[in-house]
Structure 1
Amino acid sequence: MLQRIFRLILGVVAVTAGGAAAAQSKPQRPALVAADLRPHQSLDGPWRWSIDPYRDGFAGFHGGEPGPSTRRWQDRTIADVERSDPRALFEFDLQRSPVAQLPGSWIGHAPEMRLYQGLVWYQRSFEAASPKPGQRTMLRFGAADYSTRVYLNGKEIGRHSGGFTPFAFDVTKALKAGTNQITVAVDSARTDADVPPPVTDWETYGGITRSVSLVTVPETYVDDAWIRLTNDGRVAATIRLDGLNQAGRTVRVRVPALDLQFEGTTDARGIWNGSAPAPKMLKRWSPEAPTLYDTLVEAGPDTLTDKIGFRTIEVRGDEILLNGHSIFLRGISMHEEELGKNPVRAMTHTAARALLTEIKQGLNGNFVRLAHYPHSEVVTRLADEMGLLVWSEIPVYWRVAWDNPEALAAARAMMTENIVRDRNRASIILWSVANETPIGEARNKFLRTLIGDVRALDDSRLVTAALLSRREGDVSTIDDPLIPDLDVLAINTYNGWYSDDRLAKLPNISWRSPATKPLIFSEFGAAALAGYHDVGADPHKFSEEFQAEYYRRTLEMAAKVPFLRGMSPWIIKDFRSPRRQHPVYQQGWNRKGLISETGAHKAAFDVLSEDYRRRAEASAKLTAQRGDKAEDSRKTPAF
C-alpha cells in the first residue's frame, strides 16, 4: 500500500491546459510540505503585469516560436535596448508595465480586467545570494489560476496546471548572485479536459492568487512528512527525503511536549515508515479543544517543523465518530473569497479568520465545507487552530469530460497535490471527489479511480462526494451507484428553491437510503438580497423573509432524518458568480449567503445559529454525561 502511495506522489506531473499528464514520463517537482513554516524569502508584493489575449508571447502569428519583439520572458532591459538601438522593435515592455500587488487575482488590477479570461504576464526582480554548498533553493507558488509557465533569468524552469494547489521548482542552478528576474505567464482559460471545465457557478479568479516564495533547504531534505494518530492508539509517521543522500539516512520524529521520540532509517527511495505508542498525556484534537503540538522531523542537517493535532475519525454504522464519540457536523459551505465589495481572492490570515469566526462563533458551528476546490493553507491551518472540522474537495464539478484521459489525469494530479499538502491538518476529516455529477458508467469509473487514489494516499480519513437524489412525491431516495464506495453519503438538496414546493410542505419530505451509512446535507439554501424585505404571507424569493422561512422549514425536514449526521448549507457569504445576472437581486453575485459580501447578517443567519446552538448544548450535555460515567467507573472498586 505504501509503495503505491509514493508511486502516485512521484508520478504526478504538470498538466498544461488541454494537455495530458504523462504520469511516468518525468519525476514530480518537489512536494515541499509545510513550506509555509520553513525559512523563506517572500516574493509577494509589487509585480509588473501585462495582458496577452492572443498569446503571442508563446507563438508567432504563423504558429512558430515567438520572435524577440514578443518574447516576454527575455532577460533584457527593453528601455536600454531601445536607447542603444533605435531600430529595435518590441511589442511589449514588462519593466514599464503597470504594477499590481500580489498575491491576488487580476480582477483587482484594473476595472477592464473584471471579466478578462486569458493570458497575463507577470514580472519582477529580486535580490538573491548564491546558494551555499550543501543547500538547494526552491521557488514555490501557493497557487496560480489556472495554467502557469515560470521563467527565471530568461529560461523556462517549469509549468503547472490546476489553479488551487501548490507547486515548486528547484532553481538552485538557475539563480544568480545579485539581481534576478522572474517572469510568470498565467492563463485562466480552461478547456473541457480541465478540472474544473469552463462552466461553473463561481468566479474565475485568474492570476497568482497565493504567496510566492524562495525556500532554502539542505541538499537532502524532508520533502514529505505525514504524522498522524492511528485508530489503534499509535503515532505513525511516513517520511520521504529528497536528495543525493536520501537512502540509508536516519530520520527522527519528535514531539517535545509529549516527550515522544522515535526514529528509523530510509530505504533506497528515501522513504521511512515508523510508529510509537501514543503517550497517555496526549490530548486529542477536537473542536472543543483544538490542541496542536509542535512536531519535528529531523534528517541530517534538515529539521522540518509543523503544528499537528492528533485525533481519529471513523464511521460506525450511520454514525461519524471523532475520537471514538459520535458527532453531528454543524457546518456551512464557504468559497475562498474575502469579505468586501471587490474581493480578489487574497485570503490573508485576517480575511480567513473573519469568515471562520462567523462560522465558529456566530453560527455555533464546528464544521466547514471548503467548496469547490482546495482552499489556501492559510484557511486549513486556521481551521486547525480554531477547532473547525473540514470537508476538502477538488473541482470535479458538473460537466466533466468523463471519457477523456486528460481530464482524469488532471483530477488525479490535483487530488494528490491537495492531499499531500494537507494530510497533517487534524481539522480535515473528509476528502470529497465530486460535486453534483450526473450518473453514468464513465463517470462511475472516473470517480472510483479517484476514490482509490484517496484511499491509497490517506487511509486515516473518510471519503465522500456531494451527490444528487431522486425524488418521487414526498420521498427522496439516495440511490447513486457510488454509495458502496463512499464512507459518508452527501446530498445537495434545494427543495423549495429550485422546485415549486411550498415552504410549509418541506417538513413532509422524507429520506431513504439502501445503505446504513451517515448522511450529510452538503448543500441546501435560498438566495436573499441583504436588506430586501417582504413581510407578506407569501414572501417573495430573494427576500430575507423567504430565506429565513426556507431555513426554518428545511431544518424541520432535516430533524426527521434519523441517519443525518451533519449539514453544510449553501453558503456563509454571498460570492461572485458571472452566471447570476438578475439586475435587481444578483448583479453578478450568488446571493445564497447568510451574510452579504460585506458581512451584513441576513435573518436566516440567526435561524441556523439558533438551531446549531441547541444542537451544541445537547452535545455538550451528552459529553458531560459520558464524563460522569467515566468518573463513576474509576471510583467503582474492581473485583
Structure 2
Amino acid sequence: MTMRGQWLKQLCGGLTVIVGLATQSLAATPSQTTPTRVGPVLVNVEARAGQDLSGAWHWSVDPYRDGLAGFHGAEAGPGHRRHDDVDVDAVTRANPQALYEYDMRRSPVVHLPASWISHDETMRYYDGLVWYQRTFTATKTPGQRAFLRFGAADYVARVYLNGKPVGIHEGGFTPFAFEVTSLLRTGENQVTVGVDSVRSADTVPPTVTDWETYGGLTRPVRLVLTPATYIDDAWVRLGDDGRLRATVRLQGTRPGDTEVRVRIPALSLTLKGRTGADGSWTGDAAEPSALKRWSPEQPALYEVTVEAGEDRLVDRIGFRTLEVKGHDILLNGKPVFLRGISLHEEELGKNPTRAMTPGAARALLGEVKHGLHGNFVRLAHYPHSEVMTRMADELGLLVWSEIPVYWRVNFARGETLETARRMLAENILRDRNRASIAFWSVANETPVSDARNAFLARLAADARALDDTRLVTAALLIDRVQEKGQSVMVVKDPLVSHLDVAAVNTYNGWYSDDALADLPGIGWRNDTGKPLVFSEFGADAQAGFHEPGLKRKFSEEFQAEYHRQTLAMSEKVPSLRGLSPWVLKDFRSPRRQHPVYQQGWNRKGLLSETGQRKQAFDVLAEHYRKLEARQAQPEQARAP
C-alpha cells in the first residue's frame, strides 16, 4: 500500500496546525489507500481521568477577526488578542495609558456546550468568529500527560492555554484533542478558544446546505489526564469469521513491549498479549457460547475493561455481525428490513441550541423506537454527538453515520479530500465500539462527475480499511426515465460499485409535479445487485395547518397522503431493504423562508419542533407496525 494522504503537523511557535496534504492524483486506485492518521484519539473519553470543562464560559463576538490580525494585516496587538493570559482590568489600573478593546473576564457568560445562536437574539444568523474563555484549577503531577479534548467546534477552532497557542482544528462535527502537558500549570489555568463558523466552496460542508450552521462549542470540552504511556485507541468487536477480536494502540514514552489485557467479566473472557514496537496489539478468541448478540430486539451490552501499564478504560460494548448477501442486509446472519427515519442533531423545543444531553437524545430516539416502531435511524448529514450513538446502543437502534460531504463539494481539490478523509477517520475512530453503527456514509446528494467519483471512492476505501465490520453507503441522487410510457426510477450511479448498499433520496410528488395517486405506479429498476434503501423521502407540513379537501402542500393532510402513496410505491420495489423518511422533527434551516409555513424551519418533520405529532407520524408508525409483525413471522409465512 502507498500513502495517498497524511496529516501535516507544523510546529510553529508551539502551535500544532493540522491540515490535509494531497500526495497523489485523485485518480489513483482507491484500493491503494492508507487511511489518514489522526490523533490523539482518546477513545471513550468520558471514562478517563480529568475534568469536564462544560459550564460557564465568557464569550466575545469578533466579526472582523480583530483578535487574529490588525487592520493592516499584522499580528493582533496586545490590546486586541483575546487569548492573552492577562487580567485586563488589573493591567489598565496599573497602567492608565494601556489601551485594551476587549476584556474577556468581564464579557458576558454563557453555559456550554451550546451554539451561539442561543447566546443572544442578535446572534441568530451570525456567521463569523466568536471567542470563548474560562479558567479552571488543576494540579500538575510528574509523569502525567494532559490533553484538551473537544467533542466538536463548528467550524474552525483555534485553541490557547494560558496565553499560548496549542492547535487549530477544521471541521464542525468530529472530536479532536491537543496535548497541553508542558503548558498546564498547578493552580489556575486559562483556556481560550476562537471558533470561526465561516465556510467556503472548499470546506466540508461548503457554504450551501439545508440546515442551521450552529456555530460554537456545541459538544463538551474536557481536560484529560493520562499516564506517561496511555491507551489511545481500543477497538473490541465481533468479526464475521465468528472471532471476538480486540485491537489496542498505546501512545507515550514506552508504547512498545507492554502487556495489554482485555477482559469481559460476564463472559469469563480475557484476551492478553504484548504490544509491538509501534505500540499496537491485536488478539482474538472464539465467540463465547454465552454471548448474546446485540440487536434492536435485544440490545445486549457488556462491560469491557482494557488495561495496559498504568492505564485502564471501561466501556459498555455490544457485539453483532453485519453483511450483505444479494439484496439482503444480514444482521447476525438473518435478513433485516430497516424501519427508520432521518434525524438532524437538534433537541426538541422552540429554541434548540444543539446541546445534546442524554435526556434530549432519549426523547428523540425514543420517538423512533417506541413511537414509530423503528429499528433504524439515519443521523444526517454529519457525525452526531457520541451521546446519540451511545443512546442508540442502549435503546436498540441501528445507525447510519455520515460525514458532511454534501451537495457542491470541491471534489477536484486535494486539500478538500484530505479534510474529508480526516473527518471520516475521526468519526470512525470515535464510534467503532458502538454496536448500533451499521453504516458509514460518505456523502449525500452529490452530482456525478469523474472528480466526485474518485473523491468518494477514496472515502469508501478508507472506511473499509478503518472498519471491516460495518457497511459502506452514500445517499445518492436517482435517475428518472420513460420506458414504454411509464416513469421508471433507475439506480445507476457509478459510485454504487464501491458501496455495500445503494441508497437513494426520492421526492416524487413533492419536488415533482406527480399527482400523489400516481406514485404507486412509478416503476423502479435496481440492476446493481445490491440492497436498496430509500435514504430520504418527505413532504413539508406545518403542524396544525389543515385542509382536508384540498390537500394543499404544507397541510398535514397532504403530508400524510404523500407518505401513504410513497409507502405504497415502496412496497413494489423488490430489492428495497430499508426506509429512512425525511425527517423525524422540523429543524432550523435559513434557506426555508415562507412567511407562513416555514419561517426559517424545514417542515418535513413528522413532529413539530416542539414534538407535536403530525398526521403523517401515525401513517408511518402503522406501516412500520405491520412490517415489524411481518418480520416476526416465520420466513415461509411472510408475504413476498
- Select the residue among 499, 503, 507 that pairs with 2:512: 499
Q: 2:310 & 2:6 partners in 1: Cα distance?
A: 24
**2:30 aligned partner:** none
CA distance in 2, matches of 1:133, 1:164: 34
The equivalent residue for 2:523 is 510
Q: Would you say the 8 A contact 2:526–2:532 is kept in 1?
A: no
Stretches of structure 1 that go unaligned for 5 or more consecutive residues are 627-639
Match of 2:573 in 1: 561
Q: 2:543 aligns with which of 510, 522, 530?
A: 530
- 1:321-336 matches, cutoff 5 A: 321-336=330-345
Q: Which stretch shifts more, 243-252 or 587-596?
A: 243-252
Which residue number in structure 1 is paired with residue 105 of structure 2?
95
Q: Percent of counterpart pairs with the same letter?
A: 62
CA distance in 2, matches of 1:107, 1:22: 33
Per-residue displacement from partner, 1:570-616 (whole Å, max 9, x unpaired)?
Answer: 00000000000000000000000000000000000000000000111
CA contact (8 A) 1:43 1:212 kept: yes
Superposed, 1:188-587 pairs within 5 Å as: 188-473=197-482, 474-536=487-549, 538-587=550-599
1:156 and 2:169 equivalent?
A: no
Q: Which segment drifts farther, 177-186 or 509-518?
A: 509-518
1:177-209 Cα deviation digits (max 9, x unpaired)? 111111100000011111000110000000000
2:147 maps to 138
Superposed displacement of residue 295, structure 1:
0.6
* Residues 414/208 of structure 1: CA separation in 2 closer, same or farther (3 Å cut): same
1:12/1:27 contact within 8 Å kept: no
Distance (whole Å) between structure 2 residues aligned to residue 575 and residue 432 of structure 1? 21
In the comparison of the two structures, how many residue pairs are matched? 618
Q: Residue 56 of structure 1 aligns with which residue?
A: 66
Contact 1:13–1:23 under 8 Å retained in 2: no
Displacement of 1:143:
0.5
CA distance in 2, matches of 1:39, 1:326: 42
State the SS of the aligned residue for 2:370.
helix
CA distance in 2, matches of 1:109, 1:563: 48
More off after superposition, 247-256 vs 36-45: 36-45
CA shift at 1:19, angstroms?
A: 9.1
Aligned residue number for residue 178 of structure 1: 187
Alignment check: 8 A CA contact 1:13 1:28 kept: no
State the Cα deviation string for residues 135-177 of structure 1 (Å, max 9, x = none).
Answer: 2121111101000011000100111110000111111111111
| Structure 1 stretches of 4+ moved >6 Å | 7-10, 623-626
Q: Supply the distance in 2 between the matched residues of 1:431 and 1:251 (Cα, whole angstroms).
A: 29
Are the equivalent residues in 2 in contact too, given 1:57–1:66 (CA < 8 A)? yes
Give the equivalent residue in structure 2 for 1:44. Answer: 54
CA distance in 2, matches of 1:388, 1:187: 34
Q: Does the 8 Å contact 1:333/1:370 carry over to 2?
A: yes
**CA offset digits 1:542-587 (Å, max 9, x no partner):** 0000000000000000001011000000000000000000000000
In structure 2, which of residues 624, 627, 634 is the aligned counterpart of residue 612 of structure 1?
Answer: 624
1:265 Cα deviation after fit: 1.3
State the AA in 2 paired with 1:620: A
Question: Structure 1 pair 612/546, CA: closer, same or farther in 2 (3 Å)?
Answer: same
Query: Could you tell me the TM-score, scaled by structure 1's length?
Result: 0.94
Equivalent-residue separation in structure 2 for 1:469 and 1:489 (angstroms): 11
Q: Which residue of 1 aligns with 2:606?
A: 594
Give 1:109-120 correspondences, 5 Å limit.
109-120=119-130
CA contact (8 A) 1:191 1:198 kept: yes
8 A contact 1:13–1:413 mirrored in 2: no
| C-alpha distance after superposition, 1:506-544 (max 9, x if no partner) | 0001110222110000000000000000011x4100000
Using structure 2 for the length normalisation, give the TM-score: 0.94
CA shift, 1:133, in A, is 2.4
What per-residue deviation string (whole Å, max 9, x for no partner) do you get for residues 387-407 of structure 1? 000000001000100111111
Note closer, same or farther for the CA distance 1:168–1:624 as it changes in structure 2 (3 Å cut).
Answer: farther
2:32 alignment counterpart? none
Structure 2 distance, partners of 1:47, 1:420, is: 29
- Offset from partner CA, 1:331-387 (integer Å, 9 cap, x none): 000000000000000001111110000000000000000000000000000000000
3-state DSSP class of the match of 2:429? helix
Alpha-carbon distance between aligned partners in 2 of 1:249 and 1:19, rounded to the nearest angstrom? 29
RMSD: 1.9
Q: Distance in 2 between matches of 1:347 and 1:396?
A: 22
Structure 2: gaps (5+ residues)? 24-35
How far has the Cα of 1:326 moved from its partner?
0.2
Structure 1 position 22, deviation (Å): 3.7
Measure, in 1, the Cα distance between the counterparts of 2:459 and 2:271: 33
1:75 counterpart = 2:76: no
- Give 1:60 shift: 1.1
Q: Which amino acid aligns with 2:633?
A: K
Q: Kindly indicate whether the alpha-carbon contact (under 8 Å) linking 2:139 and 2:186 is maintained by their aligned counterparts in 1.
A: yes
Match of 1:631 in 2: none
Name the CA distance, whole Å, in 1 between partners of 2:623 and 2:446: 30
Question: 3-state DSSP class of the match of 1:482?
Answer: helix
What is the DSSP-based 3-state SS (H/G/I as helix, E as strand, rest coil) of the residue aligned with 1:67? coil
Distance 1:158 1:38 in 2: 21
AA aligned opposite 1:106 = W
Shift, 1:218, TM fit: 1.0
Letter in 1 for 2:374: G
